[in-house]
Amino acid sequence: MQNNSTKDIYVHDQQNALGSIRVADDVVGIIAGLAATEIPGVAGMSGGIGGGIAEMLGRKNLSKGVKVEVGEREAAVDLHVIVEFGVRIPEVAASIQTNVKHAIEGMTGLKVVEVNIHIRGVVFPDEKGEENARVR
């Protein structure tokens, strides 16, 4: 999903007098994944679809389910998420977009031009009311 390359990110229009600032694409992906999972209604990130069931990933895999394209000054992000049953998906998706944009721009200085949300599944509570019992 992501490559391990780094890109030059210039906080201003010129290079820092002490040298350049490099941020790996994976770092931007982790920032985006963490910002997405902070939103109420997000059950987790999705690693993909296998046999029709979304694979839900834990906190150790925050950059999984995230695809980033980083240029010198701009970034575009695609997030694959699993939401909790009963949430208003458009509202959760809009909150994710806002939080991810602010987190990346605040931490890296990059301008975020796109945050695309892909809903890959819904977590249903089991009979006892516990979450993560069934992901569809």
Give CA–CA dist 117/6, Å, rounded.
Answer: 24
Measured at the CA of 34, the angle between CA 68 and CA 130, to 5 degrees, comes to 125
The 3-state DSSP class for residue 5 equals: coil
The 3-state DSSP class for residue 121 equals: strand
pTM: 0.77
Q: What pLDDT tens digit does each residue of the chain (136 aa) get? A: 444 455 544 443 445 678 877 788 889 999 999 999 999 999 988 875 554 444 554 445 667 889 999 988 899 999 999 999 999 999 999 999 999 999 999 999 999 999 999 999 999 887 545 544 456 5
User: Which 8-state DSSP code applies to residue 16?
Assistant: B
Q: Which pLDDT score is estimated for 60? A: 53
Q: Which pLDDT score is estimated for 134? A: 55
Cα 98 to the center of its chain, rounded Å: 11
Q: Which of 91, 86, 70, 98 is nearest to 5 (CA)?
A: 70
- How many helices (H) and strands (E) are present in the chain, helices listed first? 2, 8
- What tokens does 86 get? 């009963």
Residue 85 identity (one-letter amino acid): F
CA dihedral 27, 31, 34, 37 (to 10 degrees): -130
Domains of the chain: 6-135 (3.30.70.1350)
Residue 121 identity (one-letter amino acid): G
CA dihedral 70, 61, 81, 88 (to 10 degrees): -110
